Structure 1
Amino acid sequence: MAQENSTVKPTQAELTLLNVLWKMGPATVRQVHDVVSTTQKTGYTTVLKILQIMHEKSLVIRDESNRAHVYAAANSQTQTQSSLIKDLISKAFGGSTSKLVMRAIDDSTSEQEINDIRQLLNSLEK
Protein backbone atom coordinates (compact mmCIF):
# COMPACT_ATOMS: atom_id res chain seq x y z
CA MET A 1 0.00 0.00 0.00
CA ALA A 2 1.42 3.39 -1.00
CA GLN A 3 2.12 5.93 1.69
CA GLU A 4 1.14 9.58 1.35
CA ASN A 5 4.13 11.18 -0.36
CA SER A 6 4.00 14.42 1.66
CA THR A 7 5.05 12.49 4.78
CA VAL A 8 7.64 10.30 3.07
CA LYS A 9 11.14 11.74 3.06
CA PRO A 10 13.43 10.53 0.27
CA THR A 11 16.77 8.97 1.16
CA GLN A 12 20.01 10.35 -0.29
CA ALA A 13 19.97 7.73 -3.06
CA GLU A 14 16.34 8.56 -3.84
CA LEU A 15 17.16 12.28 -3.96
CA THR A 16 19.90 11.54 -6.47
CA LEU A 17 17.39 9.86 -8.76
CA LEU A 18 14.78 12.57 -8.17
CA ASN A 19 17.31 15.21 -9.19
CA VAL A 20 17.85 13.34 -12.46
CA LEU A 21 14.11 13.12 -13.08
CA TRP A 22 13.56 16.80 -12.26
CA LYS A 23 16.29 17.73 -14.73
CA MET A 24 15.36 15.27 -17.51
CA GLY A 25 11.65 14.90 -17.04
CA PRO A 26 10.04 11.46 -17.41
CA ALA A 27 12.66 8.82 -18.16
CA THR A 28 13.26 5.09 -18.39
CA VAL A 29 15.46 3.24 -15.93
CA ARG A 30 18.17 3.04 -18.62
CA GLN A 31 18.11 6.82 -19.11
CA VAL A 32 18.29 7.48 -15.36
CA HIS A 33 21.09 4.93 -14.97
CA ASP A 34 23.08 6.49 -17.84
CA VAL A 35 23.01 9.89 -16.11
CA VAL A 36 23.76 8.59 -12.61
CA SER A 37 26.61 6.37 -13.82
CA THR A 38 28.53 9.41 -15.10
CA THR A 39 29.15 10.54 -11.51
CA GLN A 40 28.96 7.38 -9.41
CA LYS A 41 29.36 3.65 -9.79
CA THR A 42 25.82 2.30 -9.66
CA GLY A 43 24.42 -0.76 -11.36
CA TYR A 44 21.36 -0.75 -13.58
CA THR A 45 19.52 -3.15 -11.27
CA THR A 46 20.25 -0.89 -8.29
CA VAL A 47 18.66 2.08 -10.06
CA LEU A 48 15.71 -0.12 -11.05
CA LYS A 49 15.20 -1.34 -7.48
CA ILE A 50 15.42 2.17 -6.02
CA LEU A 51 12.87 3.44 -8.56
CA GLN A 52 10.55 0.52 -7.71
CA ILE A 53 10.82 1.36 -4.00
CA MET A 54 10.23 5.02 -4.78
CA HIS A 55 7.11 4.05 -6.70
CA GLU A 56 5.85 2.06 -3.70
CA LYS A 57 6.50 5.13 -1.53
CA SER A 58 4.67 7.37 -4.07
CA LEU A 59 7.80 9.45 -4.68
CA VAL A 60 7.59 8.69 -8.40
CA ILE A 61 4.85 7.78 -10.80
CA ARG A 62 5.31 5.04 -13.40
CA ASP A 63 3.89 4.79 -16.90
CA GLU A 64 3.60 1.10 -17.71
CA SER A 65 2.03 1.52 -21.15
CA ASN A 66 5.29 0.70 -22.97
CA ARG A 67 7.69 -2.19 -22.58
CA ALA A 68 10.21 0.10 -20.88
CA HIS A 69 8.48 1.72 -17.93
CA VAL A 70 8.82 5.48 -17.73
CA TYR A 71 9.27 7.11 -14.33
CA ALA A 72 8.56 10.70 -13.32
CA ALA A 73 8.81 12.57 -10.04
CA ALA A 74 5.47 12.62 -8.24
CA ASN A 75 6.14 16.06 -6.75
CA SER A 76 7.99 19.09 -8.02
CA GLN A 77 11.50 19.87 -6.84
CA THR A 78 10.15 22.90 -4.96
CA GLN A 79 7.50 20.84 -3.13
CA THR A 80 10.05 18.23 -2.09
CA GLN A 81 12.61 20.82 -0.98
CA SER A 82 9.96 22.65 1.06
CA SER A 83 8.93 19.43 2.77
CA LEU A 84 12.54 18.53 3.58
CA ILE A 85 13.28 22.02 4.90
CA LYS A 86 10.18 22.03 7.11
CA ASP A 87 11.25 18.67 8.51
CA LEU A 88 14.81 19.91 9.11
CA ILE A 89 13.59 23.10 10.79
CA SER A 90 11.34 21.07 13.07
CA LYS A 91 13.94 18.43 13.97
CA ALA A 92 17.20 20.36 14.09
CA PHE A 93 16.24 23.96 14.81
CA GLY A 94 13.33 23.63 17.24
CA GLY A 95 10.91 24.97 14.64
CA SER A 96 12.88 28.23 14.20
CA THR A 97 13.36 29.30 10.60
CA SER A 98 15.62 32.16 11.70
CA LYS A 99 18.00 29.72 13.42
CA LEU A 100 18.24 27.74 10.19
CA VAL A 101 18.94 30.87 8.15
CA MET A 102 21.54 32.14 10.62
CA ARG A 103 23.31 28.75 10.51
CA ALA A 104 23.12 28.63 6.71
CA ILE A 105 24.56 32.11 6.21
CA ASP A 106 28.17 32.14 7.25
CA ASP A 107 31.56 33.38 6.06
CA SER A 108 31.39 31.14 2.97
CA THR A 109 28.28 32.90 1.65
CA SER A 110 29.24 34.87 -1.47
CA GLU A 111 28.43 38.53 -2.01
CA GLN A 112 26.09 37.55 -4.87
CA GLU A 113 24.21 35.10 -2.63
CA ILE A 114 23.86 37.79 0.04
CA ASN A 115 22.48 40.21 -2.58
CA ASP A 116 20.03 37.53 -3.78
CA ILE A 117 18.89 36.94 -0.18
CA ARG A 118 18.52 40.69 0.38
CA GLN A 119 16.35 40.98 -2.76
CA LEU A 120 14.20 38.06 -1.62
CA LEU A 121 13.71 39.62 1.82
CA ASN A 122 12.82 42.97 0.23
CA SER A 123 10.22 41.33 -2.00
CA LEU A 124 8.72 39.44 0.95
CA GLU A 125 8.33 42.70 2.89
CA LYS A 126 6.27 44.30 0.07
Structure 2
Amino acid sequence: MKPNSTELTILKLLWQSQPRTGKGIHDALSKRFGWGYSSTRKTLERMSAKGLLSEGMQGNKKIYSAKLEKMPTLALLAQDFAKQIMELDSPLPVAMFADSKIMSSEELAELELLLSSPSNKDNHKGEAN
Protein backbone atom coordinates (compact mmCIF):
# COMPACT_ATOMS: atom_id res chain seq x y z
CA MET A 1 0.00 0.00 0.00
CA LYS A 2 1.33 3.39 -0.98
CA PRO A 3 0.78 6.21 1.50
CA ASN A 4 -1.35 9.15 0.35
CA SER A 5 0.06 12.68 0.60
CA THR A 6 -1.16 13.27 4.17
CA GLU A 7 0.14 9.90 5.32
CA LEU A 8 3.47 10.57 3.60
CA THR A 9 3.80 13.88 5.47
CA ILE A 10 3.31 12.06 8.78
CA LEU A 11 5.74 9.31 7.78
CA LYS A 12 8.38 11.88 6.81
CA LEU A 13 8.00 13.51 10.23
CA LEU A 14 8.42 10.14 11.94
CA TRP A 15 11.43 9.21 9.80
CA GLN A 16 13.13 12.34 11.16
CA SER A 17 12.52 11.35 14.78
CA GLN A 18 10.53 8.50 16.25
CA PRO A 19 8.69 7.45 18.22
CA ARG A 20 6.49 10.50 18.70
CA THR A 21 3.37 11.05 20.72
CA GLY A 22 0.11 11.87 18.97
CA LYS A 23 0.30 15.35 20.49
CA GLY A 24 3.87 15.78 19.23
CA ILE A 25 2.80 14.82 15.72
CA HIS A 26 -0.21 17.11 15.94
CA ASP A 27 1.87 20.06 17.17
CA ALA A 28 4.34 19.60 14.31
CA LEU A 29 1.65 19.40 11.62
CA SER A 30 -1.36 21.37 12.88
CA LYS A 31 -0.47 24.60 11.09
CA ARG A 32 0.09 22.79 7.81
CA PHE A 33 -3.22 20.92 7.88
CA GLY A 34 -5.30 23.23 10.06
CA TRP A 35 -6.59 20.23 11.96
CA GLY A 36 -7.92 19.87 15.46
CA TYR A 37 -6.30 17.21 17.63
CA SER A 38 -9.18 14.77 17.06
CA SER A 39 -8.52 14.80 13.29
CA THR A 40 -4.84 14.07 13.85
CA ARG A 41 -5.67 11.26 16.27
CA LYS A 42 -8.17 9.73 13.82
CA THR A 43 -5.62 9.89 10.98
CA LEU A 44 -3.00 8.19 13.17
CA GLU A 45 -5.48 5.47 14.14
CA ARG A 46 -6.39 4.92 10.48
CA MET A 47 -2.70 4.74 9.51
CA SER A 48 -2.09 2.19 12.28
CA ALA A 49 -5.02 0.09 11.08
CA LYS A 50 -3.62 0.18 7.53
CA GLY A 51 -0.24 -1.04 8.79
CA LEU A 52 1.65 2.19 8.10
CA LEU A 53 2.35 2.94 11.78
CA SER A 54 2.93 0.97 14.93
CA GLU A 55 1.43 2.11 18.21
CA GLY A 56 2.90 1.78 21.67
CA MET A 57 2.63 3.33 25.09
CA GLN A 58 5.09 5.57 26.87
CA GLY A 59 3.72 6.03 30.35
CA ASN A 60 0.11 7.04 29.78
CA LYS A 61 0.77 8.47 26.29
CA LYS A 62 0.27 6.66 23.01
CA ILE A 63 3.36 6.80 20.79
CA TYR A 64 3.69 6.15 17.08
CA SER A 65 6.51 4.87 14.88
CA ALA A 66 6.68 4.36 11.13
CA LYS A 67 6.35 0.72 10.07
CA LEU A 68 7.35 1.51 6.51
CA GLU A 69 11.05 1.92 5.85
CA LYS A 70 12.01 5.30 4.44
CA MET A 71 14.09 4.44 1.38
CA PRO A 72 12.04 1.52 0.00
CA THR A 73 8.90 3.64 0.39
CA LEU A 74 10.45 6.62 -1.40
CA ALA A 75 11.78 4.30 -4.13
CA LEU A 76 8.30 2.84 -4.61
CA LEU A 77 6.77 6.31 -4.90
CA ALA A 78 9.50 7.44 -7.34
CA GLN A 79 9.01 4.33 -9.48
CA ASP A 80 5.26 4.81 -9.43
CA PHE A 81 5.67 8.44 -10.51
CA ALA A 82 8.03 7.43 -13.33
CA LYS A 83 5.70 4.72 -14.61
CA GLN A 84 2.23 6.17 -13.98
CA ILE A 85 2.82 9.88 -14.60
CA MET A 86 5.83 10.04 -16.91
CA GLU A 87 5.21 6.65 -18.63
CA LEU A 88 8.87 5.67 -18.27
CA ASP A 89 10.01 2.06 -18.19
CA SER A 90 13.56 2.83 -17.09
CA PRO A 91 14.50 3.93 -13.57
CA LEU A 92 14.62 7.61 -12.70
CA PRO A 93 18.14 9.04 -12.43
CA VAL A 94 19.13 9.48 -8.79
CA ALA A 95 20.69 12.84 -9.72
CA MET A 96 17.10 14.17 -9.64
CA PHE A 97 17.18 13.75 -5.86
CA ALA A 98 20.69 15.10 -5.18
CA ASP A 99 19.43 18.32 -3.56
CA SER A 100 16.80 16.59 -1.43
CA LYS A 101 16.46 17.92 2.11
CA ILE A 102 15.19 14.57 3.39
CA MET A 103 17.99 12.25 2.20
CA SER A 104 21.62 11.88 3.22
CA SER A 105 24.30 10.84 0.72
CA GLU A 106 24.10 7.29 2.12
CA GLU A 107 20.35 7.26 1.57
CA LEU A 108 20.83 8.54 -1.99
CA ALA A 109 23.16 5.60 -2.64
CA GLU A 110 20.54 3.23 -1.19
CA LEU A 111 17.85 4.84 -3.34
CA GLU A 112 20.01 4.37 -6.43
CA LEU A 113 20.31 0.66 -5.65
CA LEU A 114 16.58 0.35 -5.01
CA LEU A 115 15.62 2.19 -8.20
CA SER A 116 17.98 0.16 -10.38
CA SER A 117 17.21 -3.21 -8.80
CA PRO A 118 14.91 -5.32 -11.00
CA SER A 119 13.69 -7.23 -7.93
CA ASN A 120 12.40 -4.02 -6.34
CA LYS A 121 9.92 -3.52 -9.15
CA ASP A 122 8.03 -6.64 -8.08
CA ASN A 123 8.89 -6.86 -4.38
CA HIS A 124 8.25 -3.54 -2.66
CA LYS A 125 9.99 -3.82 0.71
CA GLY A 126 8.51 -0.49 1.75
CA GLU A 127 4.98 -1.52 0.92
CA ALA A 128 2.68 -2.57 3.74
CA ASN A 129 0.22 -5.35 3.01
- Please classify the TM superposition score into its range, dividing by the shorter chain length: 0.5 to 0.7
Matched residue type, 2:67: A
Query: How far is the alpha carbon of 1:64 from its aligned partner?
Result: 3.8
Could you tell me how far apart the structure 2 residues matched to 1:77 and 1:41 are? 26
Is the counterpart of residue 22 in structure 1 residue 21 in structure 2? no
Corresponding residue for residue 80 of structure 1: 73
Normalising to structure 2: TM-score of the pair?
Answer: 0.64
Could you tell me how far apart the structure 2 residues matched to 1:37 and 1:83 are? 27
Q: Secondary structure at the match of 1:75?
A: coil
Give the fraction of aligned pairs with identical amino acids, expressed as a percent. Answer: 28
Deviates more, 1:86-95 or 1:71-80: 86-95
Post-superposition Cα deviations, 1:75-120, rounded to whole Å, max 9, x if no partner, equal 222121011112222322334236x55xx96xxxxxx85xx9xxx7
Give 5+ residue unaligned stretches, structure 2: 100-104, 114-129
Structure 1 outlier segments of 4+, above 3 Å: none
Aligned-residue CA RMSD in angstroms? 2.8
Q: Secondary structure at the match of 1:42?
A: coil
Which has more radius of gyration? 1
Is the counterpart of residue 35 in structure 1 residue 66 in structure 2? no
Normalising to structure 1: TM-score of the pair?
Answer: 0.65
Is the counterpart of residue 9 in structure 1 residue 2 in structure 2? yes
Task: Considering Cα pairs closer than 8 Å and 6+ residues apart, tell me whether 1 or 2 has the greater RCO.
Answer: 2
Matched residue type, 1:60: L
Is the counterpart of residue 53 in structure 1 residue 46 in structure 2? yes
Could you tell me how far apart the structure 1 residues matched to 2:59 and 2:83 are? 42
Q: 1:94 to 1:39 in 2, by over 3 A?
A: closer
